[in-house]
Amino acid sequence: MNVSKILCVARNYADHAKEMGTAVPTEPIFFLKPTTALLPTGGTILLPPQSKRVEVETELAVILGTGGREVPADKAMTLVGGYSVFFDITARDLQAKAREDGSPWTASKGFDTFAPMSEPVPPEHVSDPHALGIRLKVNGIVRQDSNTRQMIFRIPHLIEAASQIMTLEAGDVIATGTPAGVWPIVPGDRLEADIARVGILRCTVAARNR
């Protein structure tokens, strides 16, 4: 699969916005991850030496089968070519510093291996993407347990809003945000996330050597 961009949505679950102590947004907030951050399931997330606290966020990713620009919400679902389980890996300390300084999140979100993603399933497997159990286990213990119905902005709205900013292309990934329960990860951890009907994403964690 050829991914040309990874578009992530910040604070798209009310319970997560609350745990981060941030306001619930009135319009979707997007940021980009580089495609060099992609990691297939079974891969090892490498913790960079620049960060002391890296966290995992489990998200439903939408993979576009068709591109478009200024796509109205009522046509948006026709662009969807598949779904994956996605980890938005975040260097939380670097992000907190960026928030404080008013600087971009590029570093905190963009390290190599910070975008693990499961093999996509076709949209026919997922009758309603807004009613899926979403769960994360770290070393066998459940840390995130929610449902995609808790999303603030649903997929048609996300595609409409994103396509008003930039041209969307086939293969683009839209990570739709994380529910509450984001969890710090350390070397040796085993992560396993599942989203009903979409699949399972498994990763291990190791320190990256300089």
178 binds Mg ion (CB under 5 A): yes
Residue 205: exposed, middle, or buried by beta-carbon count in 10 A (0-12, 13-18, 19+)? buried
Run of H or E including 46: strand 44-47
Binding mask 117-156 for Mg ion (x = CB under 5 A): ----------------------------------------
Smallest distance from Mg ion to CB 87, Å: 9
Minimum CB distance to Mg ion smaller for 11 or for 137: 11
Run of H or E including 109: helix 106-110
- What's the token pair of residue 120? 């996509």
Residue 119: exposed, middle, or buried by beta-carbon count in 10 A (0-12, 13-18, 19+)? middle
Binding mask 24-63 for Mg ion (x = CB under 5 A): ---------------------------------x------
Smallest distance from Mg ion to CB 58, Å: 9
Residues that bind Mg ion (CB under 5 A): 57, 88, 178
